[in-house]
Structure 1
Amino acid sequence: MTRRTDWAEYAHLDALAERAGGQDVGPARTADDTGYEGGEPRRGGGARDGARTGGTRGGRGRRRRGFGEPPGEPSAEDGGASSSSRAEQGEPPGDPVERARAICLRLLTGTPRTRKQLADALRKREIPDDAAEEVLSRFEEVGLINDSAFADAWVESRHHGRGLARRALAQELRTKGVDSALIEEAVAQLDSDQEEATARELVARKLRTTRGLDRDKRLRRLAGMLARKGYPEGMALRVVRQALEEEGEETDFLDEGGI
């Protein structure tokens, strides 16, 4: 992978939310809007470059909150619309823009969301389209919504955490409403060599659990596991066959008294 996106920037929701409300930033974008000050990125910045450089690059061990499993879609409470539930959730009554802003902030506090996920939540809460568009555009401007950074982080986390290949990752991002061009750019972080290396690791971990089965059944089971994770059929079969052959060679070596 080429980069990590630091989702700790979402800890600064309150400060960004104040700007999202238009209290201290005019229509033109300023250094505060983009998250840059003196040429250096700050956490909470909305620009794509800020999202890339604001994070860390590292090994596979780190997991990003909210990406080990698909972040939940807006809960059942986000589909309701009673005045009592609005009060309980801290939503301001009346003004649809303020309601939309409160709903989005609450959802973003838990995990990053795409613009479409937030738009769907606002639609379920019967927020008027013009109010929803105003809030979503403002949040996107100040960096609270960043589908490009979301896609990058999703690919990295789900590939390293679950071993998903490009095809499966692209499908997941499509279901979350990410634009096709952004999906293509995000999954391009993975190349065929990296995919194959991950496929080999997955097979190596699963190989032992299939011992005792006949070779054809093991082949089907292991190749099926890779197929469900989005690996191409040709690659899956090649990786599994090679793993079974290497296992057989190792067994023969041990049977012959090797160390």
Structure 2
Amino acid sequence: MPVVRKTHPARPAKPEKRARRGNCNMKRSMTKPKPAAESGRTPMDEALRFLGGRARTVREVERRLDACEFGEVEVYETVERLKDLGLLNDISYAEQFVQTRLSTKPVSRAHLREQLMQHEVDRDALERALLLVDEETETGSARAVAQKYARQGERLPEDERKEFVLKRLMARGYSYDAARSALEQALGGGEDA
């Protein structure tokens, strides 16, 4: 005899979540709140609130202020003022991003470039930050990643373990040759090197 599941009566659709306080993204709210420009907040207030959580790029702040429907001149003046105050600097953002990324979850130089481009960092700032990643740094980070994944895959057969480590290295943006070299060092006794 087949088991018949009891179905729940149709539930009414849940309304969209309300926008967070201070969020100018009006797509999220059901009732359209007043844009920040009409609510009495200045572009500087909104920018400082946005920068309060973490460092941002110039383009991220511009997008935020545009979403709040501030005028082009107001946005430009606010961004320039933030730059003058030292609160907005793409070069320091990019350098800090690279240093943090290399110390927490190492990836290749190419992968870092892609990530910085996703944050819309200025091209000059991007290139300057990537100067921190020389060949030796990239080789060392690839070796550290290979050692980490080699330890994780200890119980796998040797061929599967190599494939596991190689795939993880390539997923982090390392070239096949760099990944292969790091793999050989990690599995071939180069762990103390």
- The TM-score by the shorter chain falls in which range? 0.7 to 0.9
Question: What amino acid sits opposite 2:33 in the alignment?
Answer: S
The CA deviation at 1:76 is 8.9
Calculate percent identity across the aligned residue pairs: 24
After superposition, residues 12-161 of structure 1 pair within 5 angstroms as 77-80=23-26, 82-83=33-34, 93-94=39-40, 99-161=42-104
- State whether residues 116 and 178 of structure 1, in contact with CA within 8 Å, keep that contact through their aligned partners in structure 2: yes
The alignment status of 1:198 with 2:145, answered yes or no, reads no
Superimposed CA distance per residue, residues 194-221 of structure 1 (whole angstroms, 9 cap, x where no aligned partner): 1111221222222122123233322221
- State whether residues 92 and 99 of structure 1, in contact with CA within 8 Å, keep that contact through their aligned partners in structure 2: no
Partners of 2:146 and 2:187 lie apart in 1 by 10
Match of 1:110, SS state, is: coil
1:254 corresponds in structure 2 to none
The CA deviation at 1:122 is 1.1
Structure 2 unaligned spans of 5+: 1-19, 27-31
The alignment status of 1:221 with 2:164, answered yes or no, reads yes
| CA shift in 2, pair 1:137/1:148, >3 Å | same
Q: State the TM-score, normalized to the length of structure 2.
A: 0.77
The CA deviation at 1:110 is 1.2
Question: What amino acid sits opposite 1:82 in the alignment?
Answer: P
Question: What amino acid sits opposite 1:170 in the alignment?
Answer: R
Partners of 2:44 and 2:102 lie apart in 1 by 32
Question: What amino acid sits opposite 1:150 in the alignment?
Answer: Y
- State whether residues 103 and 122 of structure 1, in contact with CA within 8 Å, keep that contact through their aligned partners in structure 2: yes
Match of 1:189, SS state, is: coil
Structure 1 unaligned spans of 5+: 1-73, 248-259
Partners of 1:78 and 1:228 lie apart in 2 by 35
Partners of 2:22 and 2:151 lie apart in 1 by 42
The CA deviation at 1:75 is 9.4
Partners of 1:76 and 1:138 lie apart in 2 by 21
The CA deviation at 1:181 is 1.9
- State whether residues 115 and 145 of structure 1, in contact with CA within 8 Å, keep that contact through their aligned partners in structure 2: yes
- State whether residues 170 and 187 of structure 1, in contact with CA within 8 Å, keep that contact through their aligned partners in structure 2: yes
Aligned partner of 2:129 among 178, 186, 194: 186
Superimposed CA distance per residue, residues 46-79 of structure 1 (whole angstroms, 9 cap, x where no aligned partner): xxxxxxxxxxxxxxxxxxxxxxxxxxxx999231
The CA deviation at 1:123 is 1.5
The CA deviation at 1:92 is 7.8
The alignment status of 1:175 with 2:113, answered yes or no, reads no
Higher relative CO (CA 8 A, sep ≥ 6), structure 1 or 2?
1
Structure showing greater Rg: 2
Superimposed CA distance per residue, residues 141-181 of structure 1 (whole angstroms, 9 cap, x where no aligned partner): 22111000101100000111111221111111111111122
- State whether residues 57 and 93 of structure 2, in contact with CA within 8 Å, keep that contact through their aligned partners in structure 1: yes
Q: State the TM-score, normalized to the length of structure 1.
A: 0.58
Which is richer in helix? 1
